[in-house]
Structures are given as C-alpha cells and as structure tokens.
Amino acid sequence: MKKYISKLLVISFFTLGLMTVSCEEYLDKAPDAGVAADDAFGNFISFQGFTEELYHCTPDYTKATWVCDWNIADELLATTGANWRLVVAFDNGNYWDWLNSGWGQSYIGHFGEGANTNDDSFSKNYYNLCWYGIRKANVGLENFEKLIEATQEEKDIIKGQLLFFRGFLHFQLMSFWGGLPFIDHMLASEKMDFPRLKYQEMAELVALDLAEAAELLPANWDNTAAGQRTLGNNNQRITKSVAYAYLGKNLLYAASPLMNKVSTGNASYDEDLCKRAAEAFYNCLKLSDSGEAYYQLTDWESYETNFYTLDGSIPGYPETMFTSPAYNGGGSFYTNFSLYFPPGLGGDGNMISPAHSYVKNWGMANGLPLEADGSGYDPADPWSNRDPRFYKSIVYDGVRIIQGSGNEDYRFANLQNDGNYRNDGTGSRSGYMLRKFMHLTINNTDNEGRNIILLPAYLRLADVYYMYAEAVLHGYGSATSSYPGYITAVEAVDKVRARAGVPGVDARFLASKDAFMEELIRERAVELSFEANLRFMDLRRWMIAEQKKYKEKTAIDFDRGEDGKPINMKERIVVNRVFESKHYWLPLPTDQVNLYPELYQNPGW
C-alpha cells in the first residue's frame, strides 16, 4: 500500500470480518485467520491499516436509511402519516424501538448486517459497532509490542488511536445505556461475568484511555512524518484536541446530575469532576488558540459548510472535530430530501418539522430570549429581528424557497393555516420547516444543489466552548469564573455568539449560577440544534426531560394578513411526550441481558 488508505473515506484493507449481533461474540471472537500477526502488526503501514477500520465504527447518523431519524427529544414533529418514525416511538415512550424501529431507521440499533465496517451507510449499527470496535482496539493493544518497524512517533500514533477508540466507544455506549462492563482486554474462552459498573466508575476508566491518548496523539497530522504520507486526507483523523475534548465531555457527563445521582445518589453536579472536565477542555481549546491545532470556528459567511457542501468537499472544516466517514456522498440528497420538503416541492410526504415549542429557543438579534424584558419581540411580527442563527436554521412563512421563476404556487413557503406547505399528514405539521441541513435549491423546480454532501459532526469546536462554560460554571461557581488563567464561562459562550453577530450574554443572566445555566441551556438548543442527538443527551443528563416544557411539543396556527404578517396566531399542543424515570436510559437488548446475571436490565424495562 502506498498509503494507509487512499482516503479515510475508503475502508481499510485489513478487516476482522463481519460479526453477529451478540456483544459476547464481538468480544471473544478470535482474529481473522489468514493474516499472520507479525505481518499485520509488525510495521506502521500495516498496523495503521488495521487501526483505520476503527474509524468505520462510527455511523453517519443522518443516513441509516432513506429517511433517517436521529432527533428523538423535543425538537421535531413528524407527519401523522409517518407514525413509524423513531421520533414518534420515543414521543410515545417506546424506547424499545431503538432496536426494532420500522425501516430500521435508527443508527443507534439499525437492522443491518451486524457490525459492518464497509462503506454502506445503511448497514451501520452503533450498538454492535461499539462492541466490535472495543474488541478490535483491544486486539491492537495486546499486539502492540509486535510493532517493530516504526519510529517512536508512529508507535505513539498507533497506540493513541487504539486508546482513543476504546475509550470513546465505551463512552458512546454508556451515554445511551448507563454504566456497563468496561472491557480492557481481548476475551477468549473466559467466563462472561463482568459486572455493570456505576456510571462514574466506568467514566474513570474511559478517562484513563482518553487522557493517555491525548498525550500520544499529534495536534496536527500534517506536521508529522506519518501524516506527510496522507496530506490532504488527514482532517478526519483523531488528534490530541479530539482526545482532550472527549476526555472533558466524558468527565462533564459523569459530573452531570443524572450520572451523579445513579453513581452517588446526589442529583447535583459533582464539582471535582467539573473542574477536571474544565481542565481537559482548556487543554483542547488552547491548542486552537496557539494554532498548534487547526480547529477554528467557521466564519459566519460559511456557516452552512459546517453541515453540508455543494462542491464535493467534506463538510465541517475547520470547525468539525469528529465525525463519521462519508460513506456514500450521493446518499446525502436521497436519504434526507423527503425529511425537509412537502410533496409540492418534491418530498414524499414523510417530512419532519421543528416544533414551535423548540423554535422559541431562538431569541432576538440583541441576544435576549423572546420573553425577556427589552427583547423587542413582537408577536404580530414574530420572525423579524431574530437571532441570525434563526434564519440559517428555520424556514418560516413567506421565505422564498424556489429561486427560479417556475412553480409560482410553491415559490414561497405557505405555512399559514391551509397553506399548501401545511398538512398534518404529509407536510409541515408545526408551521415551520427545517433549513439547517438543506440547501433550498434542492426543490424539484430549481432542481439544483443535488450534489449536496451532508455530514453534520458528532463534535464541533463550538460545542467544546459551551461544555467548557458548563464545566467552569459548576466547577468554579459562577458565569464569571474561569479555569485558572483562561477565559471565563461567559466569555466562552460569547465567543460562539459573536461569530453570528449576537451580543454577549446579558448581565442579568450572570447574577446567579441558575440564571446563567438557563441561558446556557437555551444557547445549546440554538447553536447545536438537531445535531448528533445532543439535545436527547442534554435533557437527560440535566434531569429536566420530565419537565412539562420539554414534554409538550407545539405547533402554531395563524392566518396571513394583507401585509404578509401573521394574524390570529395561536400556539397549540400537538404531542405530550411520554417521559418517566425509566426513560433516562435506553433498554438493553433482551438477548444481551440474558447472557449472564451480572449484565442486568436497566430499571423499568
């Protein structure tokens, strides 16, 4: 091989084969026959080829099937004709559907062919891939001493990646299912009796892997001899910054009220874990500040390229820190088109639309929430002077969709009562459309932009700033506190807001920890909207998902006045989400919990 892989987007030449659905089988299956261990692990090129399959253990969460669901909290309303959607099942409290959903549309537990690491996005299954990747990382670590033909830099890169993925994949599992066994060696024929750990116990083991990975990995692959071999294809590789960011995220999650409660009985933040998280985020951010790492906030003019591109390039850079490989670029149009458009624009009537109750998170251009004194919000002119991110994310009544001269009836978004974009069964159910991941010219009249590549990140630098702010707030006590020698919590939030031209957080929200946290919750809902199940994770870890405001999904009904502004506007509850204490964790597959007594089911399931 001239390179480890021609591109990270192509599957590595060395695979362990496809596994079946039991985590026991993933963890105890012997390495594939036919490749001698010394050949596979003896030199950097072959060992890196082995290691790169781990990148393919991360699904593209937007393309598990033709019309994929990944927002399963309070963000979206599905049409009544699409009651098979995962978001509908979760609204109804049926969390078993992560495993059994119609059309296998969940990347969490897709009905695909086991733990495929090929380049087909439809065959990805996160639950299975996590166990598969953990085993593969352990295989690599246990054979690490066979790496002879390599420089110290190359050895560090290999070990750093293996440790990162072992920690990261355990973290992904525990984020959905809570504390589980931590598997730190390759299993053979030993008895399966590994106990489920408390969340914080498991997080500490994950932290050890991620911390060591951060020490070993380069800040920028392009500045290494190994990375010189693959110049132009290094953006998606794991770096020191990514390891530090996930170290901080792992510690912040462990510190959060839900995780602290299941570990200690205390439903508040763990201050020490927050301080450790803040330090990890600081170590990540300072690499960008110094230029040692290339991650930076994307310019506002190019904001959409965080999520999609039209020129064939991979979206997200320089802001994306971690995402899946782009398994099938052509699928970006076909697998998401009908999610965003009503039939009159070419959709197939299975669309989703942002709930009005969620859209209210977008405040005003002056940086204030809608309901705050002095915000300037006018119910008679509700879509004027809003936060600039509103216009990048949401389609509201009157927005021009068709850019050419054809199809006059559908040229502008008709989202008022009886508008031709509005239909509970096939169109917008809420009075809005989602724009963040869609170029408007994809409609069937303009018929442009169909070379779109959609690849939203699992982790963006903006998220690291917000998580740093949260860790500092609860670790050091206030919005104006900081990790020693670095920016304050509020300065971190303001840095992201400034990118969009939004003024800093108003002083009234700095007066108390609770006040700033409320604004941080809203800010995360805006900037990180509809990305990577972040909202689902946030509402659970903060233990606020049971609150009424997060259970009621609403729509707006209105007529259009002569001046084009809405009149007779009323908010209407469409869905009351079912959320009980058992819904803080997904149920484990029944065949898994039957493997041995110590692997017990989550409470309530």
Confidence band for 235, pLDDT divided at 50, 70 and 90: very high
Q: What percent of the chain has pLDDT over 70?
A: 92
Domain map (residue ranges) of the chain: 1-68+107-229
**513-562: pLDDT as tens digits:** 999 999 999 999 999 999 999 999 999 999 999 999 999 999 999 999 99
Round to whole Å and give the CA distance between 513 and 49: 48
Average pLDDT rounded to a whole number, residues 581-596: 94
Tokens of 100: 């059994």
Mean pLDDT (the chain, rounded): 91
Which of 368, 53, 30, 82 lies closest to 189, judged by CA? 30
Round to whole Å and give the CA distance between 429 and 351: 9
Confidence band for 368, pLDDT divided at 50, 70 and 90: very high
Give the number of other CB atoms < 10 A from CB of residue 20: 12
Tokens of 444: 């069937």
Strands annotated E in 325-372: 352-354
pLDDT score at 11? 29
Strands 552-560 and 459-460: unpaired
pLDDT of 263 > 60? The answer is: yes
pLDDT score at 234? 94
First-residue to last-residue Cα distance in the chain? 49
**12-45: pLDDT as tens digits:** 322 222 222 234 333 333 344 335 566 789 999 9
**Locus of tokens 């303001």:** 494
pLDDT score at 84? 87
> Looking at 107-116, 121-130, 409-418, 517-526, which range is the least confident one?
107-116
Confidence band for 259, pLDDT divided at 50, 70 and 90: very high
pTM equals 0.94
**291-348: pLDDT as tens digits:** 999 999 999 999 999 999 999 899 999 999 999 998 876 678 878 888 899 999 999 8
pLDDT score at 192? 81
Q: What percent of the chain has pLDDT over 90?
A: 81
pLDDT of 10 > 80? The answer is: no
pLDDT of 149 > 70? The answer is: yes
| Three-state SS at 60 | coil
Round to whole Å and give the CA distance between 402 and 411: 5
- Report in angstroms the alpha-carbon separations of 214 from 208, 248, 283: 10, 11, 10
Round to whole Å and give the CA distance between 558 and 414: 11
Q: Does domain 1-68+107-229 have CATH number 3.30.70.270?
A: no
**323-334: pLDDT as tens digits:** 999 887 667 887
